[in-house]
Structure 1
Amino acid sequence: MTYETLQQDMQLMVEEWMTSDYLRDGELFVIGCSTSEVAGQAIGTSGSEQIAEVIFKQLNILKEKSGIQLVFQCCEHLNRALVMEREIAARYLLDEVSVIPVPTAGGSMASYAYKQMTDPVVVESIKGSAHAGMDIGETMIGMHMKHVAVPLRFKQRQIGNARLAVARTRPKLIGGSRANYEDTRLNNKCN
């Protein structure tokens, strides 16, 4: 994997999200990322803030184009806490915890993101509030997603050497067969 290939992978992923029409202004978008897996190594063995930088820059483009709010999952050493801007934590009434992620405890992606944000905080949980997200390297972001998470089948299935899984959420279906869902956000895209 080269940095040029990584950037191309991320650009393709950004394009797919932008054409998907699943992202809404202000919604939480959670990212779990193993930079070790992106580099072709076992998760947690060779993190890289250089890889994180390439990924972060492309995610920032996605944020600028779509209006989403980026939330970065830390690794299990920080119990999968999340890095975000203080303003977003306040908007969602989330409690800050006292920790700063570093590559060896939090992961290179969360550590890099923390350093790039204007006023970063770490929160213990987003209480299943993410509207969409992506998991680079099987880092298990599902606990942060709203119900009901719907996996998406993008053409872009890898970032570097890491497997990529992406998902969006939809409101729960209630009311059974007599209910009408035509004018909802589902737009006949139920899975």
Structure 2
Amino acid sequence: MAGTTHEVEDKSVIEKIKKDAAEAAAELVKEGKLHRGQIVVIGCSTSETLGEDIGSWSVPEAGEAIYDGLMSVFGKEGIFIAAQCCEHLNRAIITEREAVPFADIVNVVPQPKAGGSFATAAYKKMKDPVAVEEIRADGGIDIGGTLIGMHLKKVAVPLKLKQDHVGRAHVTAARVRPKFIGGDRAAYDEKLK
């Protein structure tokens, strides 16, 4: 049903999802060499985390658990989350106003079936949430095939995480690096590769 959200009876599933999300976040911080002030885009299908088809099984408590798991890592590191909404909101982004001080803000409040349970949780839990239509993030985690590439800076570099699932959803991750410009005579900063 289009407007229906669901609950998970086995609370250990929710705890596992939260733990999986935290482990994926920790790996991304380390492997992506992320630091304070950077932005990580998160695309998330709570349906997929529970073994259902994307967009078919919206679970607010799973969205909250994933947000809490991610923030247990990103929050300590001073890294901002940019929660990608679902296609019903054209994959708009929910993030902290502080992360995007000069962005054009749009007016929308995500809901579980129009924005997604993860973006809804982010909006509820952030200190000063805003919606923007696009962002250029420094890294990202895609939980369940939500296609986050449109919100990453160029050049995106795929990362294979050991924590390759959150619940039953497959996880892909990426970091970004500056473009190499110049030619044969150019020199590059090895730390930025």
Normalised to the residue count of structure 1, the TM-score between the two structures is 0.89
Give the structure 1 partner of residue 172 of structure 2.
165
Amino acid at match of 2:28: W
Give the structure 2 partner of residue 181 of structure 1.
188
Q: CA deviation at 1:13?
A: 1.4
Does residue 133 (structure 1) correspond to residue 140 (structure 2)? The answer is: yes
Does residue 38 (structure 1) correspond to residue 49 (structure 2)? The answer is: yes
Give the structure 1 partner of residue 155 of structure 2.
148
Give the structure 2 partner of residue 75 of structure 1.
86
Give the structure 2 partner of residue 5 of structure 1.
16
CA distance in 2, matches of 1:22, 1:152: 11
Give the structure 2 partner of residue 86 of structure 1.
97
Q: 2:184 aligns to what SS in structure 1?
A: helix
Give the structure 2 partner of residue 189 of structure 1.
none
Q: CA deviation at 1:183?
A: 4.4
Q: CA deviation at 1:50?
A: 0.7
Identity, % of aligned pairs? 47
Give the structure 2 partner of residue 17 of structure 1.
28
CA distance in 2, matches of 1:110, 1:131: 19
CA distance in 2, matches of 1:81, 1:15: 25
Normalised to the residue count of structure 2, the TM-score between the two structures is 0.88
Query: Compared with structure 1, are the counterparts of its residues 88 and 49 closer, same or farther at alpha carbon in structure 2 (3 Å cutoff)?
Result: same
Give the structure 1 partner of residue 9 of structure 2.
none
- 2:18 touches 2:68 (CA, 8 Å); kept in 1? no
Gaps of 5+ in 1: 187-191
* Deviates further, 152-161 or 57-66: 57-66
Aligned length: 182
CA distance in 2, matches of 1:68, 1:112: 17
CA RMSD after TM alignment: 1.5
Gaps of 5+ in 2: 1-11
CA distance in 2, matches of 1:4, 1:73: 22
